[in-house]
C-alpha cells in the first residue's frame, strides 16, 4: 500500500474559505497531523486518526507524518491559512532533508487562503502594489534579522504584512517594530490591525503609525502597513497599482 503526505492550508478561519481540493483530500485521509487548534477544525469520522500536537514541535510533527506515510497511511498535515506561508510545508521538507530515506515520499502541497490576503480583502486593497510578508516572531531568527528586513522593506517603499506580531512571551518586539516603522516611514503611514479575520469576531482597525500602540496586536492579528501611496477611499484602504 502506497501512502502519501498532503500539506494542506485550512484558510484563515471561515469554513467557506477552505478550498475544494483541501476538502476532498481530507475526505481521503487516514491520519490528520497538526497543531491542536487546527486539527480541531477537522471533523472526526470512522477510520480517521487525529494527531494533535502542541506548538513548536514542527519537525517532530513532520517526521511523524513521513513515518506514517511510509507505512501506507494517507496523511494530511494541516496548517491555518496557506501551508507555505510560515507554516508546515517548509517543516516537512526540512524533515526530509534531515532524513533522506523519505526523499521519494509522495508529497502534495495544497494551497490555502493565507490570513494576509483575507485581511487585505476585508480591508479593501492595501496590498495592491508591491508588498512583502515578514514574520515578527524571533523564535527562529534573531531580532537583528527582523529589524534589518523591516528597514529594507520600508526603504524600498513596500507595503508590509506582519505575522505573529505580539505574544505573551514576546510583548516588547512589536513595540520595537512600531519604533522602526515610525523612524523609516514617518507618523502618517496607514497601519491596519486585522484580528480574527473571517471569523464571527473579526475586528478591523486602521490608524496612522502615530496612533498605533503595541496592545492593538496579538497572535490572532495580521498587521498590514501601507506604502507611501496607500490611502483611505471612504471606509476602505487601498494602494494604487501605479508606481508611487
* 49-53 sheet: strands from edge to edge: 49-53, 31-35, 74-79, 4-9, 106-110
Q: Domain limits of the chain? A: 4-113, 116-238
Produce one character per residue of 51-78: b if its CB has 16 or more CB atoms within 10 Å, e if not.
ebeeeeebeebbbbbbbbbbeebbbbbb
Q: What pLDDT score was predicted for residue 29?
A: 97
The model's pTM is: 0.91
Cell, residue 22: 483541501
Q: What pLDDT score was predicted for residue 139?
A: 83
239 burial (CB, 10 Å; 0-12 / 13-18 / 19+) is buried
Separation of alpha carbons 160 and 226, rounded Å: 7
Q: Which CATH architecture has domain 116-238?
A: 2-Layer Sandwich (3.30)
Q: Which residue's C-alpha cell is 533522506?
A: 100
Q: What pLDDT score was predicted for residue 243?
A: 65
Ranges of residues in the chain with a pLDDT under 70 are 1, 243-244
Q: Which residue's C-alpha cell is 501605479?
A: 242
With beta carbons less than 8 A apart as the criterion, state whether 183 and 153 touch: no
Quickly count: other Cβ atoms within 10 Å of residue 182's Cβ: 17
Q: Angle formed by the axes of helices 143-155 and 173-185, to 10°? A: 30
Q: What pLDDT score was predicted for residue 244?
A: 54
74-123 residue pLDDT tens: 999 999 999 999 999 999 999 999 999 999 999 999 999 999 999 999 99
Residues 6+ apart with CB under 8 A from 31: 48, 49, 50, 51, 65, 68, 73, 74, 75, 76
Fold of 4-113: Cobalt-precorrin-4 Transmethylase; domain 1 (3.40.1010)
Q: What pLDDT score was predicted for residue 55?
A: 79
Helical residues (DSSP H) of 72-114, grouped into ranges: 88-98
Amino acid at each position: 500500500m502506497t501512502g502519501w503526505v498532503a500539506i494542506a492550508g485550512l484558510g484563515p478561519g471561515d469554513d467557506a474559505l477552505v478550498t475544494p481540493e483541501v476538502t476532498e483530500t481530507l475526505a481521503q485521509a487516514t491520519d490528520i497531523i497538526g497543531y491542536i487548534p487546527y486539527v480541531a477544525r477537522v471533523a472526526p469520522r470512522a477510520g480517521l486518526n487525529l494527531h494533535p500536537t502542541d506548538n513548536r514541535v514542527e519537525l517532530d510533527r513532520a517526521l511523524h507524518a513521513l513515518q506514517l506515510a511510509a507505512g501506507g497511511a494517507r496523511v494530511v498535515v494541516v496548517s491555518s491559512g496557506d501551508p507555505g506561508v510560515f507554516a508546515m510545508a517548509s517543516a516537512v521538507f526540512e524533515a526530509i532533508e534531515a532524513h533522506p530515506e523519505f526523499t521519494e515520499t509522495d508529497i502534495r502541497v495544497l494551497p490555502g487562503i493565507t490570513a494576509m490576503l483575507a485581511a487585505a480583502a476585508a480591508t479593501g486593497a492595501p496590498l495592491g502594489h508591491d508588498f512583502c510578508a515578514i514574520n515578527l516572531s524571533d523564535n527562529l531568527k534573531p531580532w537583528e534579522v527582523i529589524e534589518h528586513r523591516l528597514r529594507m522593506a520600508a526603504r524600498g517603499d513596500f507595503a508590509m504584512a506582519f505575522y505573529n506580531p505580539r505574544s505573551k512571551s514576546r510583548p516588547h518586539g512589536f513595540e520595537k517594530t512600531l519604533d522602526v516603522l515610525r523612524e523609516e516611514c514617518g507618523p502618517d503611514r496607514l497601519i491596519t490591525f486585522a484580528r480574527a479575520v473571517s471569523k464571527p469576531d473579526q475586528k478591523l482597525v486602521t490608524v496612522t503609525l502615530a496612533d498605533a500602540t503595541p496592545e492593538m496586536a496579538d497572535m490572532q492579528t495580521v498587521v498590514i502597513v501601507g506604502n507611501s501611496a496607500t490611502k483611505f477611499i471612504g471606509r476602505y484602504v487601498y494602494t494604487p497599482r501605479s508606481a508611487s
